[in-house]
Structure 1
Amino acid sequence: MIDGLVVVMPTLDAASGLGTTLLALGDQATRTVVVDGGSRDATGEIAMAHGAALISAPRGRGPQLAAGARAAAEARWLLFLHADTRLDPGWQASVAAHISAPDAENRAAYFTLAFDDPRPMARLWEWLAAWRCRVLALSYGDQGLLISRVLYDRIGGFAPLPLMEDVDLVRRLGRKRLQALSIRAVTSAARYRRGYLRRGLRNLLCLGLWYLGAKPATVQRLYAG
């Protein structure tokens, strides 16, 4: 077990993948906090069956993640993870190595994106995500985020945004305080079922509008399609 590590996971009707995600975590965290935004499926039951603490928060990843961080008051380290993202075996050693490194409290880390899709287009999208992280220092929430409580509080935590909460926080972190971990975060490709190019262009448009100052509700409607 990694002492002082609390996993925070926002959920909304996440029953289909939540069990797999929690099983992959095992018992290596001090605690897992599932923050539900009003699920109508068996999300809550699955969370509790796997020993996670279950709390409720206003719907939206930003408010849910912020609520989870507040609930994890005892955490020295926070690992924010989506419910449809499974960490590969070996994640514990990778996280422990990061935590034990000099000046680790002042640096956050993210995992390497992978999709649960065998098609070549998924490999291309993984490569593009790695390029985005390397060149633009812009990791997304589906890659997870490991951050010390000290650094999380210093930069102000997650803003109460319905989406783009990950981009907002990573921008405040900045390139010098963000590090890649080689362990994969295998995320669901379900939202790409209508095509990687179509979903990718929609994501890019949402990101552009957000940078231009569009209202979060406008960006959310476009993202939802």
Structure 2
Amino acid sequence: MIVSIIIPAFNETATIAATLRVLQPLREHGHEVIVVDGGSRDGTPRVAAPFADRVLVAPRGRARQMNAGAAVATGAVLWFLHADTLAPADATEQIALARARGYGWGRFDVRLTGRKRLLRVVAWAMNRRSCLSGIATGDQGLFVNRLLFEALGGYPDQPLMEDVELSRRLKRRGRPACLPGPLVTSARRWERDGVWSTIVLMWRLRLAYFCGADARTLQRRYERGESPPRRQNRL
């Protein structure tokens, strides 16, 4: 089983080398690493090139970048990983075991960096919510059988909640495997904007999306760090 690890990136020179170094033993075992850059201005493709099998440039947007990587991937399994996330050494073994148990897709538990005790609670809540709801977010390293991904048309072309939308479609084909991981992902947004502020923002954005709000409108508010107004929650 070959796993294609697809990493969308944009201005990630501060983190991507560490992310890719952890994946080098997997490359030695025949798995492939594909970095898809969205037009970085800080030299991200140059930094990534020595550690990846392919470095592509695609129109900016996580969904578009991940779809571009999937289009050239050769593995039977596609694993989408963030550029600021460190994978466990046995990640592909966990994926193989999930496939052997009949799962067509799944995600990993996460652990957030940072010393704040509240971040541990945030990670625990993310993991429990995901297992109970069957919805995976990008931080959790969604993986999916290639043929299933292609049958669903890949990630939807939207600027936000693309992982939530794909999870909703995948759920119709079966529940996700909830793998222990853990993936160690950066808590930089929580630390920069405040833990509680980020929690409230993300929950309100997610609620608005499930109630029918437009992903492009939510993206603008996400970038500004604003919660959507109540009237949007009723869309």
Asked whether the 8 Å contact 2:61–2:159 carries over to 1, the reply is: yes
Provide Cα deviations, 1:46-87, integer angstroms capped at 9, x if missing partner.
110213311111111111111111121x22111111101111
**2:32 counterpart residue number:** 31
Deviation at 1:102, TM superposition (A): 4.4
Which residue of 180, 189, 192 corresponds with 2:190?
A: 192
TM-score, structure 1 as length reference: 0.92
Alignment correspondent of 2:120:
123
Residue identity opposite 2:132 in structure 1: V
In the alignment, is the contact (CA less than 8 A) between 1:34 and 1:53 conserved in 2? yes
Corresponding letter in the other structure for 1:91: A
> Residue 173 of structure 1: CA displacement?
0.9
Structure 1 residue identity aligned to 2:17: G
Give structure 2 stretches of 5+ with no counterpart. 225-235
Q: Which amino acid is the alignment partner of residue 181 of structure 1?
A: L
Structure 1 vs Structure 2 CA RMSD: 1.5
Counting only pairs closer than 5 Å after superposition, residues 98-113 of structure 1 correspond to structure 2 as: 98-99=98-99, 101-104=100-103, 107-113=104-110
* 3-state SS in 1 of match to 2:14: helix
Gaps of 5+ in 1: none
Aligned match of 2:219: 220
Match of 1:15 in 2: 13
Greater mean alpha carbon deviation, residues 208-217 or residues 190-199: 208-217
| SS at 2:139 equivalent | helix
Amino acid aligned to 1:192: W
Relative to structure 2, which stretch is displaced further, 214-223 or 79-88?
214-223
Q: Which amino acid aligns with 2:186?
A: S
Count of equivalent residues: 219
Name the CA distance, whole Å, in 2 between partners of 1:51 and 1:157.
22
Alignment of 1:44-55 (within 5 A): 44-55=45-56
Distance 1:135 1:95 in 2: 19
Q: Distance in 2 between matches of 1:130 and 1:216?
A: 23
Deviation at 1:209, TM superposition (A): 1.9
Per-residue CA deviations over 1:170-223 (Å, capped at 9, x if unaligned) read 011117331111111111100012211100111111112222222222101111
Relative to total residues, which structure has the larger strand share, 1 or 2?
1
Provide the secondary structure at the position in 2 that maps to 1:67.
helix
CA distance in 1: counterparts of 2:117 and 2:63, whole angstroms = 32
Taking structure 2 as the reference length, what is the TM-score of the superposition?
0.88
Q: CA deviation at 1:27?
A: 3.6
Deviations 1:147-186 (A, max 9, x none): 1111111222111111211000001111733111111111
Deviations along 1:8-60, one digit per CA (max 9) or x if unpaired, are: 11000011110111111124142211111110112101110213311111111
Partner amino acid for 1:200?
Answer: I
TM-superposed deviation, 1:91: 1.8
Partner residue, 1:95: 95
8 Å contact 1:57–1:67 — kept in the other structure?
A: yes
The CA deviation string for residues 131-160 of structure 1, in whole angstroms up to 9 with x for no partner, is 211221222111101111111112221111
Q: Is the 8 A contact 1:77 1:147 kept in 2?
A: yes
Identity of aligned residues (%): 32
Q: Which moved more, 1:178-187 or 1:130-139?
A: 130-139
Amino acid aligned to 1:64: Q
